[in-house]
Amino acid sequence: MARFASDPNPAPREQMIWQVVCAIPPGRVASYGQVSRFAGLEGLARFVGRTMSRLPDGSDVPWHRVLKSDGRIAFPADSSRYAEQCQRLKSEGVDVLNGRVAMKQFGWTP
């Protein structure tokens, strides 16, 4: 079982989000909006982003597989998190070009 967060009793909505993100297979990506929809939380893409930003270091949740709806990485291009996300995606065979992933090619649908 994946380690989600340091909180032993996370809210049900957060659990649903983490479960969806954990279901994204290596080499595939989903948008924040897709994650919210697949978690039954239609229209809460920003909540998904906030939930993902609260993951503790060492979490097993593959946060790097979640992108903006147009396939862009949400972190600033000069940040260490941007570089880490690019590296993680590339290590899974996902092409990242100028901070963007081709959603039609690498997008995931459960």
**pLDDT recorded at residue 9:** 54
Q: Return the amino acid letter for 16.
A: M
Residue 102 in contact with residue 95, Cβ under 8 Å?
yes
The model's pTM is: 0.88
| pLDDT tens profile 16-69 | 999 999 999 999 999 999 999 999 999 999 999 999 998 888 889 999 999 999
Task: Please name which of 89, 25, 81 lies closest in space to residue 49, comparing C-alpha atoms.
Answer: 81
Q: What is the pLDDT of residues 65-109, one digit of tens each?
A: 999 999 999 999 999 999 999 999 999 999 999 999 999 999 998
- Please report the pLDDT score of residue 5 as a whole number: 47
CATH topology of domain 12-103: Arc Repressor Mutant, subunit A (1.10.10)
